[in-house]
Amino acid sequence: MNEPVLLSAVADGAATLTLNRPEKRNVLNGALVQALKDALARAGADAAVRVVVLRGAGKDFCAGADLAELDRIQQMSFEENLADARGLGALFVALRELRKPTVAVVHGRALAGGCGLATACDVVLARSDAEFGYPEVHLGFVPAMVMAILVRKVGEGRAFELAARGQRVSADDARDMGLATHVYAVPSFEEDVARYLRDLGSRPASALSLIKGLLYELGDLGFEDGIERGARVNAEARMTQACREGVRAFLDRARGNGGS
């Protein structure tokens, strides 16, 4: 019996999606991309899920595209290649539009499409020995599908250099340029990741949803429109039960401590 290309488990409010092609360094193919999209849809509809976590089985997070897929695209027409590229793009859009935090937990290599998968997540927690990179240029290829996200995360100059030079960068360098959020030492990595996920998952789900939605909308809005959208989200947040309970508890503590 063949192993599933993606493992999914829900525990303590986190849906953990594990790329499960360790013998191939978890490289992406059509089946894995579709499995990820299906799993994200399920996680989005599951009220028990507060955070979605992406991991890789074996030695690497994800080392890019499957060689069989690369061979196949050489035989495809422009229209077929366009449809195939849009399939990967739809996965990145799904990660962006999911109104729950997505966290990539990266060890080993995150290269090409694998680096794109991590970049598309809201948070990247990297093990100190992890490597990131977009080496597509060495094949005359372009990391085009992730570019819209990459330029927002690291800026135009960094995005150009990453794509044009195709060099691998260390976890520390990835953090410094905005590709990774936090870097944790190897011995304490799992403990540090678990602590971070518990902390993030403890925040009110309604607030996390509003924060994520507003954050990514702002990239497409002018300043004044962004302020107006912020005002509307502010008002929405005030109407949630979590906000009302949080404010009430804060005021009760302040009054109990003699505050005004």
Alpha-carbon distance 113 to 143, whole Å?
A: 8
Q: How are the residues of the chain apportioned to helix, strand and coil, as percentages rounded to the nearest 5? A: 55, 15, 25
Catalytic entry in 136, 224, 236, 245: 136
CATH fourth-level superfamily of 6-201: 2-enoyl-CoA Hydratase; Chain A, domain 1 (3.90.226.10)
pLDDT in tens, 133-162: 999 998 888 888 899 999 999 999 999 999
Question: Tell me, what DSSP letter sits at residue 62?
Answer: B
Confidence of residue 260 (pLDDT cuts 50, 70, 90): very low
pLDDT in tens, 66-117: 777 767 777 878 888 888 888 889 999 999 999 999 999 999 999 999 999 9
136 classed as catalytic: yes
Alpha-carbon distance 26 to 29, whole Å?
A: 9
Measured in degrees and rounded to the nearest 5, phi and psi for residue 115 equal -70, -40
Domain boundaries, the chain: 6-201, 205-256
